[in-house]
Amino acid sequence: APPPDVPPGARENQLRFLDSINRGHLANHPDNSELAARIRNFEIAARMQTSVPEVLDLSGEPDHVRKLYGLDHANKSTANYARRCLMARRLVERGVRFVQVYLNGQPWDTHDKNAERLHGLCEMTDQPSAALVMDLKQRGLLENTIVLWTGEFGRLPVSQGKDGRDHNRHGFSLWIAGGGFRKGYVHGATDDFGYRSVTDVVRVSDLHATLLHALGLDHRRLTYPHDGREDSLTDVTVTDAAVVKELLA
């Protein structure tokens, strides 16, 4: 929202003035693709600013949708996360290409009271997360949307301190829905101790390569200049990242 001392329409007038200057400059430099791209970026940003209030207003959502997500859940943390998941659906519905839903702080960093804290975290996230996938599917959006539910690493299978779990980069789980990925499929396994991935191992770089492939991007060809060389998003020349075809439908 604009500051209270800014007159109505002032922002729109500023944007129109800026657009006229940019387009006049572009007319004199028709081959300047970077300028044309910047103009498009300004237009997208302006549309986002004007549409955000409506997108984030959940008052018009019907009761069955509110119940599906858990907006009126007795657990306030669940209700709060439910609102975020519902906002995510509304953003996707309006063409936003990347949406991140997160929890405040670092609640999954269970260096103590792991079992106790996980119970509350699962109660907080299970219903809204499932509702988001179901809602996207019912609206015909899931096929073209990748839902990735993950952290950056796992937890050790042994206790730390007072029933805590330290970080584990050698084996952890995540789930993916929609976007051309197989459903009802479990890939890979850890050793019997639950410490290290040993079967059908998927490295983070492989996961990135697979996600990019599902988005229609070849991670080997999509490069950018970095420190004097053409680098890739998966650093493929170093990681030898590969698409995990078994994950794809």
pLDDT in tens, 119-144: 999 999 999 999 999 999 999 999 99
Rounded distance, CA 215 to CA 231, Å?
Answer: 19
Q: Letter for the amino acid at 237?
A: T
pLDDT tens digit sequence for 183-212: 999 999 999 999 999 999 999 999 999 999
How far apart, in whole angstroms, are the C-alpha atoms of residue 38 and residue 40? 5
Q: Are 147 and 100 in contact (CB under 8 A)?
A: no
Residue ranges in the chain whose pLDDT is less than 70? 1-2
pTM over 0.75: yes
Cα distance between residue 111 and residue 168, in whole Å: 12
Q: For position 42, what pLDDT does the model report? A: 82
* Domain locations in the chain as residue ranges: 9-55
CA distance 214 to 180: 6
At residue 182's C-alpha, the angle toward residues 78 and 128, to 5°, is: 10
Q: How many CB atoms lie under 10 A from the CB of residue 210?
A: 24
Q: Residue 199 pairs with which residues in a beta bridge?
A: 189
Helix, coil or strand: residue 174: coil
